[in-house]
Amino acid sequence: MEKVIIDGSSLTIDQVVAVARDFALVELSPSCIGKILASRKIVDDLVEKGSAVYGLTTGFGSFKDVAINKDQTAELQKNLIMSHAVGVGEPFPEEIVRAAILIRVNSVIRGHSGVRVDTVNTLLEMLNKKIYPFVPQQGSVGSSGDLAPLSHMLLVLIGMGEVFVDGKLISGREAMEKKEIVPVILSSKEGLALNNGTAFMTAIGALAVYDSMNLLKIADVSLSLTLEALTGIISAFDERVISTRPHEGQILCARNVRKVCDGSTLIKKSGETCRVQDSYSIRCSPQVHGACREAIKYVKKIIETELNSTTDNPLIIGENEAISCGNFHGEPVAIAMDTLGIAISEIGSISERRIAKMIDPSTNNGLPGFLIKKEFAGLNSGFLMPQYTAAALVSENKVLAHPASVDSIPTSANQEDHVSMGTIASRKAREIIKNVQNVVAIEIMNSVQGIDLREKYTILGKGTSEAYNFIRKHVLFYEKDRVIHKDMIKITELIKSTEILKVVESVVGRLD
pLDDT tens string 415-473: 888 999 999 999 999 999 999 999 999 999 999 999 999 977 689 999 999 999 999 99
pLDDT of 33 > 90? The answer is: yes
Work out the average pLDDT over 343-368: 97
* Residue 473 near residue 190 (C-beta atoms within 8 A): no
Nearest-angstrom CA–CA distance, 499 and 491: 10
Sign for the CA dihedral angle at 154, 160, 161, 162 comes to positive
> Which of 76, 15, 112 shows the shortest CA–CA distance to 328?
112
pLDDT in tens, 126-136: 999 999 999 99
Q: What is the average pLDDT across 20-47?
A: 95
The confidence score (pLDDT) of residue 60 equals 67
Nearest to 123 by CA among 157, 164, 168: 157
| Alpha carbon distance 416, 347 (integer Å) | 37
User: Could you tell me how far CA 138 lies from the centroid of its own chain?
Assistant: 17
* Weakest mean pLDDT among 65-74, 332-341, 495-504: 65-74
Q: How many whole angstroms separate alpha carbon 448 and alpha carbon 464?
A: 10
The whole-number pLDDT of residue 399 equals 97
Q: Binning pLDDT at 50, 70 and 90, where does residue 64 land? A: low
From the list 430, 423, 332, 427, the residue with the least C-alpha distance to 147 is: 423
pLDDT at 429: 98
pLDDT for the residue 510: 96
pLDDT score at 229: 97
| The pLDDT of residue 54 | 76
What are the sequence ranges of the domains in the chain?
3-197, 205-508
- The answer to whether residues 56 and 143 touch, using CB atoms and an 8 Å cutoff, is no
CA atoms within 13 A on the CB side of 87: 30
Taking the chain, what is the end-to-end CA distance rounded to the nearest angstrom? 22
Catalytic residue positions, numbered: 54
Q: Quick one: what percent of the chain has pLDDT higher than 70?
A: 98
Residue 352, classed as helix, strand or coil, is: helix
> ω into residue 144 within 30 of 0, thus cis?
yes
The angle formed by the CA atoms of residues 238, 242 and 244, to the nearest 5 degrees, is 125
Contact indicator for 445, 474 with CB cutoff of 8 Å: no
User: Average pLDDT, stretch 89-113?
Assistant: 97
What's the chain's average pLDDT? 94
Domain 205-508 matching CATH 3.50.50.60: the answer reads: no
For residue 302, is pLDDT > 80?
Answer: yes
Identify the pLDDT of residue 254: 98
Residue by residue, what is the 3-state secondary structure of 424-491?
HHHHHHHHHHHHHHHHHHHHHHHHHHHHHCCCCCCCCCHHHHHHHHHHHHHCCCCCCCCCCHHHHHHH
Could you tell me what percent of the chain has a pLDDT over 90?
86
- Note whether 131 and 163 are within 8 A (CB): yes
Distance in angstroms (rounded) separating the CA atoms of residues 165 and 150: 20
| 173 band by pLDDT with thresholds 50, 70 and 90 | very high
How crowded is residue 441: how many other Cβ atoms within 10 Å of its Cβ?
A: 29
Facing residues of 163 across strands?
133, 170
**What's the pLDDT at 321?**
87
Of 305, 309, 302, 307, the residue nearest 112 (C-alpha): 309
Tally of CB atoms within 10 A around 244: 6
Measured in degrees and rounded to the nearest 5, phi and psi for residue 384 equal -60, -50
Output the pLDDT for position 87: 97
Does position 320 have pLDDT exceeding 90, yes or no?
no
472-505 per-position pLDDT tens digit: 999 999 999 999 999 999 999 999 999 999 999 9
- Mapping DSSP onto H, E and C, the string for 232-263 reads CEHHHHCHHHHCCCCCHHHHHHHHHHHHHHCC
CB atoms within 10 A of CB 385: 15
- To the nearest 10 degrees (0 to 180), the angle between helices 285-307 and 13-22 is 80
Q: What is the mean pLDDT of residues 378-387?
A: 96
The CATH superfamily assigned to 3-197 is Fumarase/aspartase (N-terminal domain) (1.10.275.10)
327 within 8 A of 314, measured Cβ to Cβ: no
Q: What is the pLDDT of residues 263-292, one digit of tens each?
A: 999 999 987 887 889 999 999 999 999 999
Mean pLDDT within 332-361: 98
Mean local confidence (pLDDT), 118-142: 97
Asked whether 250 and 287 are in contact (CB, 8 A), the reply is: yes
Mean pLDDT value across residues 3-24: 98
